[in-house]
Every structure is written in structure tokens, then in C-alpha cells.
Structure 1
């Protein structure tokens, strides 16, 4: 009698596990992420609750902060918190230039603060002319942060127009300075008007009045967590930020 060959069927459980295990891994990662407590501590000296889980703190300013004493900004330290970096407004649109930029840029550098310059962008203006406006004002050197595209207003333009014009500005900046620019916006604007097409750019997110991290699957590097902070050397309130990394990572992000 001939032997019958036993057909070894692949256990159904293997298929189930192949489907379930990746999902469980994602859920576990999200759970661990949520379990990592974001600790805020009230600092009366800064006038706000500070996310002390981060090591690198910074500010962003424009002419509306008036005449800044940058050495006082740099010298202020409470516990382990000090101002290590600053984003400074340089230009807006195709013709506007921040009246305080030149002084802020020079004095921040002299004080030893890592500095970055940003451009307020309009999708209704020629992006090449906006890029030229920025280049004519800002001279970046080794140790400075990459140029920043501040894109947060839609001016009733569709997402396709905002994406195409922003892309032109970003590409012009990369050609001019040899580094990928940083994008500044909020999560809603990013997901509505920019999306995955810009995921290769470093992201600086505005997200305040809420004691939690910006909620997005998109990785971000800078988080603007308050617009009512105070620091020595500045008479007005000022925006506060954190960097998601240590001092070495911040330096590595800078222009070589």
C-alpha cells in the first residue's frame, strides 16, 4: 500500500500573529510615549510654567520686543534653565525688513547665543522675490541655525498654491545656504496645507496654552510652548521654545 504524503498546513495562528503583532507594537510605543510624563514647573522668574523635561531652551523675537539686552538674556539662569538659542525675525513678504534685525543679530551673536533668522511668508507674493528679500538681509555663517520659513497664514489660497510657493522659497534657501531650511507653523496648518510633501524639512511647531506636547505623527525639533514668557534684558513678554535634543544635537543642526 502506497504511503500517503501528509500535507503540512501552515497553522492559522501564524497568520493571525502576523496581523496582530505589528499593531500591538505600535500601540505599545504610543502607550510608552504617553507614559513619559511631560513635567511643567512654575518659574516666577520666567513668568510661565516651563517644560523641564527638555534641556535646551530658547526664545524668538522681532522688533516688538524693543531694544534687547542680549548679554542679560544670556546671563539669566534659574536652576538648570537658561536661554541657549534665539530665532530672530529678519524679513516679511517681498519688501519688509524687521527694523531691529541687524542689531538683534549682531548682539545675540556677541552674547554667545545660537541664533537663527526667520522670514514671514505670504503665498500671495512672489516666492523668488521673498527669497531675495531674505538673502539681501541675512548673512548666515558657521554655527548659525538654518533659515526659517514662517508659514502660518493661508490668505484664502488653496493648499496646492501654498505648497508650490513655499517649495520655491525653501529650495532657494537651500541653494543659497547649503542646508535644509526649518519650517515654522502649527500642526493644523501643517497637516491642512503642507502635509507629507514637506516631511523632509526640520519642523518648529507652535503649540501653547496646553500642557502637552504637540500631537502629531510628524517628528518636530522645536516647540514654541508659550508666548507670554519673560526673561532678563527684554521688557515685553516673549515667545519661549524648547529643542528636542541636547546641546550637541543643536550644534549639529547648525550650518557647518
Structure 2
């Protein structure tokens, strides 16, 4: 009944042609929204979690906390038609630290034919230029690798302006070196407070384990979604972070060298 009343009002106010145009737009919007929300979640026993099967490109991220990794077993793992296709590896943290397993993980991921990316854990209390240079000194990227990633998940009691401007300096310094716009990794709360409206020009990788849809994020900038921290992968001890590429598959090159 409400729809009929709405159509009647539109017809009276705008005329037949404009009404038809607006109705078509409404149908497109609703269709896209329904499709976006339909993630086709399916529990995959081998991975130990539900996966959003709507997406075809699945991957993980790792650091020293995952200890020594058997990359051959990682690459061979496949279940319910899902094979891991990419991995992000922690490279650096702050102004001086390097992940102790980075060099090996970076090398072995390449040998395993996984598309790889490197990320830097950002500390707002440290000099952003020194942090950028720490990453640049340690990470050599080549064709096919993902753009550099800044991992922003702590505020350390700093002001909003300090955090936003510091992140901007890191991003601009790293972009000038690698000639590609870096990716911002963060969670929903930090995205809304610091990234949205301030650093919207950068590709987004969101960590959100509570949602079953992605309505709260800019669909033109959201490329990656970390949907679980509790997956299992052969060759890796303990729990593993799981991610999916959420754009059309032909847009993967947008965030790769």
C-alpha cells in the first residue's frame, strides 16, 4: 500500500516520464543493495569458519605471531572450491622494528605463487616520516605485488589532528617512493572517526567481524574485507586472519603494481 501511495504522489508532482525515471532508479538501488547484502555465507570445515562465497578471491594475512609457516602446504590447501590466492605479510612497525619472519615469509609467498602484499603497523606517537622510511628500507615491491599497506589500529592517546596528519605524511611519503597509492587497513570505528572525510582518496581494507554486509563503507574505495580472525590454514599454527577482495575481479589491478 505504501508503494502505491508513493507512486501516486510522484505521478501528481512530477509527471509520468519523471516518475518512470525515478522508479527505475529506485529498482536499481534496491536490487544492488539486496545483491550486496547477499554474501552467501557458507561454513567450510577445512578452514573452520564461514566464508562469504559471493566473492571469488580469498586470502590471509600473517606476521611473526603465526610463527614458522609451511608455505607449500598453504598453497596446496583447497576446500569447497576455495583456494587461497593472496597473502599480506607484516613487514615493519614503528620507526625501527622489522617483523622477524618478514624476509622469509616474503620470499616464500612469492615462491608459492601467492599474490603478496606488505604492511606496516603504524604508531601515532612515532615520527611518520621515519616510519615510512623504515618500511621503504625493508620492502622491495615488484610487478603484481599489492600496493603498500598502513595498518592503523591504535591511537595511543594522540589528538585527531595528529593522527590524521601523521597518517597523511606516511601515505604521501610511501606513495612518492613506490608510485602507487597505498592501502589503508583499519577497523570500522577508526574508519568513521579518522579516515572517512579525511583520507577518502586511498583504497580501503576494512576489518569488521560483526557485520554481514558492507553498507557502512564507501563502495568506490573498499577493496578488501577482513571478515574473520579465527580461520585455520594447513601449514600455519594457530588462528589466521581471513580476507576477501570485494570489488569486481577485473579491478584487482587497481591496487597492485
- The bucket for the TM-score relative to the shorter chain is 0.7 to 0.9
Give, in whole Å, the separation in 2 of the partners of 1:130 and 1:119: 8
Partner of 1:32: 31
Residue 14 of structure 1: how far off its partner (Å):
3.8
Mapping of 1:13-92 within 5 angstroms?
A: 13-14=13-14, 28-36=27-35, 37-92=38-93
Deviates more, 1:155-164 or 1:108-117: 155-164
1:159-208 per-position Cα deviation (integer Å, ceiling 9, x unaligned): 21111000000001111101000000012211101222211111000011
Question: 1:191 matched to which residue of 2?
Answer: 192
Q: 1:25 to 1:227 in 2, by over 3 A?
A: farther
Aligned residue pairs: how many? Answer: 243
Match of 1:208 in 2: 209
For 2:179 and 2:203, the matched residues in 1 are separated by 14
2:244 to 238, 242, 245: 242
Q: Distance in 1 between matches of 2:26 and 2:66?
A: 44
Q: In 1, are the aligned partners of 2:44 and 2:80 still within 8 Å (CA)? A: no
Deviation of 1:80 (Å):
2.0
What do the CA deviations read for 1:92-111 (whole angstroms, capped 9, x no partner)?
11111100100000000000
- Do the aligned residues in 2 keep the contact of 1:209 with 1:226 (CA within 8 Å)? no
- In the alignment, the residues of structure 1 paired with residue 115 and residue 140 of structure 2 have an alpha-carbon distance, to the nearest angstrom, of 14
> Is the CA contact 2:58–2:85 (under 8 Å) kept in the aligned structure 1?
yes
Checking the alignment, whether the CA contact within 8 Å between 2:40 and 2:54 is kept in structure 1 is yes
TM-score (norm 2): 0.87
Per the alignment, do residues 172 and 93 of structure 1 end up closer, same or farther by CA in structure 2, a change over 3 Å counting? same
Unmatched tracts of structure 2, length 5 or more: 1-11
Match of 1:180 in 2: 181
Structure 1, unaligned stretches of length 5 or more? 1-11
Specify whether residues 116 and 232 from structure 1 end up closer, same or farther in structure 2 by C-alpha distance, changes over 3 A only. Answer: same
What RMSD over aligned residues (CA atoms) do the two structures have, in Å?
Answer: 2.4
Is residue 2:251 matched to residue 1:253?
no
2:102 is matched with which residue?
101
Instruction: Return the offset for 1:250.
Output: 2.0
Secondary structure of the residue that 1:189 maps to in structure 2?
A: helix
Paired with 1:217 and 1:13, the residues of 2 have a C-alpha distance of: 34
Offset at 1:13?
2.8
Rg larger for: 1
* Distance change (3 Å), C-alpha of 1:224 and 1:25: farther
Q: Post-superposition shift, 1:79?
A: 2.7
Q: C-alpha distance in 1, partners of 2:254/2:208?
A: 25
Find the aligned partners of 1:225 and 1:29 in 2 and give their Cα distance.
27
Matching residue of 2:7: none
Tell me, yes or no, if structure 1 residue 225 matches structure 2 residue 227. yes
1:41–1:49 Cα contact (<8 Å) kept: yes
Contact 2:55–2:244 (CA under 8 A) maintained in structure 1: yes
Deviation of 1:114 after TM superposition, in Å, equals 0.3
Secondary structure of the residue aligned to 2:88 is strand
Query: Could you tell me whether the CA contact under 8 Å between 1:85 and 1:114 is conserved in 2?
Result: yes
Alignment check: 8 A CA contact 1:187 1:214 kept? no
